[in-house]
Structure 1
Amino acid sequence: MTLKSLLLAVGLILAGGAVLAEGELSTLRPTAPIDQEAEAEPIPDVINSDMRQVRNYPDQPPLIPHKIDNYQIDLDANKCLTCHSRTAVEMSQAPMISVTHFMNREGQTLATVSPRRYFCTQCHVVQHDVKPLVVNNFVDVDSVLDFVRGQQGGGE
């Protein structure tokens, strides 16, 4: 590292520290002195509608549309499978887990859920009705495609 780039790096760090000291930098951390614990806001209730939610992007794992408080998911048991396994869906009317969950890394189909897909909450999450912490201008792929189709159809 040259002396010039070292001085530049030190200058940027000091300038960043000045911004932090003045409180101009916006963070997700609640405003409280650094040596004190901030009071956390209560976590809002889980959306418990049992209605499937639209996926925002291809291959997004489906969201869990109900509460899963106290669901046991460990090496001994998986509460999700009491409703979502192949043998339970007729009685529960819950969607069956994807056939991909019965495949190993080599693509071979297994008789039971693959160990790498057994812990559902690694990918699937519940939703809370909350205000976003940051501005998000995300547009799902279907909306983009609808827009493009509208642009193409309007120019003909």
Structure 2
Amino acid sequence: MSITARPLLGPLLLALAGLAVAAPDAGNLEALRGSMHLDRDPAPARIADPLKDQGIQDREYIHQPPLVPHQVRGYEVDLKVNQCLSCHGWKNAADRNAPRVSPTHYESRDGLTLSDISPRRYFCLQCHVPQTGAKPLVENTFTPVESLR
């Protein structure tokens, strides 16, 4: 250990000890998987089927990505194919009566407009999710932004 690192060791150890003391209820936390031991995997839960053809869903907060109002199971989205764009790309959206991909999805991270979907926006289901009738995993009291009610 270098001579310059030694003076930092004491305050670092004190800070770490303080973190351990600051979380007295840490032993009372319960995981979403319940009391299942970590060395055993529970049977995977089946995700509820999406609500089918619900039309455009209202948004709950500003900048919320639109929800997908239809089934996407089996859609091919990989490095070579994006089946979402067969309907939602600018070329086909009008013919398919589908919303067009936002112009923001054609911008690079540097703000340049590209001729095709930006690589950082290519995998649609990272942000756009199908709506389901599933119950929330945890209780919450979320209410939409006032201007969207």
Change (3 A) 1:36 1:50: same
> Whole-Å Cα distance in 2 between the matches of residues 94 and 137 of structure 1?
33
Q: Corresponding residue for 2:121? A: 117
Give the 3 Å change call, closer, same or farther, for CA 84–26 of structure 1 in structure 2. Answer: same
Aligned equivalents of 1:133 and 1:108: distance in 2?
39
Of the three residues 53, 56, 60, the one matched with 1:56 is 60
Determine if the alignment matches structure 1 residue 132 to structure 2 residue 136: yes
Percent identity (aligned)? 42
- How much has 1:44 moved relative to structure 2? 1.4
Q: Tell which deviates more after alignment, 103-112 or 65-74.
A: 103-112
Structure 1 residue ranges without an equivalent (≥5): 20-24, 147-156
Displacement after TM superposition at 1:41 (Å):
3.7
Partner residue in 2 for 1:95 = 99
Please give the TM-score of this superposition, normalised by the length of structure 2.
0.74
Deviations along 1:88-132, one digit per CA (max 9) or x if unpaired, are 012100000001111112222222212221111121111221122
Partner of 1:152: none
Gap change, CA 1:127 and 1:6, over 3 Å in 2:
same
Aligned AA (1:95): P
Structure 1 residues 29 and 102: alpha-carbon distance in aligned structure 2, compared to 1, 3 A threshold? same
Which ranges of structure 2 fall in alignment gaps of 5 or more residues?
Answer: 1-12
Change (3 A) 1:115 1:33: closer
Q: 2:31 maps to which residue?
A: 27
Cα RMSD of the aligned pairs, angstroms, is: 2.9
Partner of 1:149: none
Tell me, in whole angstroms, the C-alpha distance in 2 between the residues paired with 1:122 and 1:63. Answer: 11
What is the identity, as a one-letter code, of the residue corresponding to 2:94? E
Query: How big is each residue's C-alpha offset from its partner over 1:46-86, in whole Å with a ceiling of 9 and x where there is no partner?
Result: 12224111111111111111111111111111100100011
Per-residue deviation, 1:142: 2.4
What amino acid sits opposite 2:100 in the alignment?
M
Structure with more helix by fraction: 1
Query: How far is 1:7 from its partner?
Result: 9.9
Supply the AA of the counterpart residue of 1:76.
K
CA distance in 2, matches of 1:7, 1:114: 45
